């Protein structure tokens, strides 16, 4: 009959492991992350409509070349830049672990 050796350190109770998990990753997205995602979805759907049906919904809603339409386009672009920054930050954090 084989005997089982008790593990010397239980993974669930290792305090170093728990603190490293908390410090190394965020479990929830921030409000800015959600806003960027929403803007990217709006921009992506708008480009899909432009490509498929030649309909620019942003221009249709706010008027072509209007300040409001331009603001939406700028916000979508800023959301894309923020997402590039976030992706680079995540990739850098992954390399360090």
Kindly tell me the burial class for residue 72, based on how many C-beta atoms sit within 10 Å of its own C-beta (0-12, 13-18, 19 or more): buried
Angle 31-53/67-95 helices, nearest 10 degrees? 120
Token pair in block for residue 23: 């410090």
Q: How high is the pLDDT of residue 25?
A: 54
- Average pLDDT per 10 consecutive residues for the chain, totaling 97 residues: 58 54 63 97 98 98 98 98 94 83
Residues contacting 40, CB < 8 A, separation 6+: 76, 79, 80, 83
Please report whether residue 83 resides in a domain. Answer: yes
Domain that holds residue 45: 29-95
Task: Indicate whether 24 belongs to any domain.
Answer: no
Question: Cα(14)–Cα(34) distance, rounded to whole angstroms?
Answer: 33
User: What pLDDT is attached to residue 4?
Assistant: 62
Question: What pLDDT is attached to residue 28?
Answer: 77
Tell me what pLDDT residue 40 has: 98
How many independent structural domains does the chain possess? 1
Position 44 scores a pLDDT of 98
pLDDT confidence of residue 2: 61
């Amino acid at each position: 009959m084989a005997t089982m050796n008790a593990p010397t350190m239980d993974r669930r109770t290792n305090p170093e492991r728990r603190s490293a998990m908390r410090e190394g990753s965020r479990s929830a997205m921030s409000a800015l992350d959600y806003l960027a995602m929403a803007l990217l979805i709006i921009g992506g759907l708008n480009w899909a409509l432009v490509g498929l049906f030649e309909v620019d919904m942003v221009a249709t809603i706010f008027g072509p070349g209007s300040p409001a339409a331009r603001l939406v386009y700028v916000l979508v672009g800023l959301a894309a830049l923020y997402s590039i920054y976030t992706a680079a930050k995540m990739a850098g954090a992954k390399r360090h672990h």
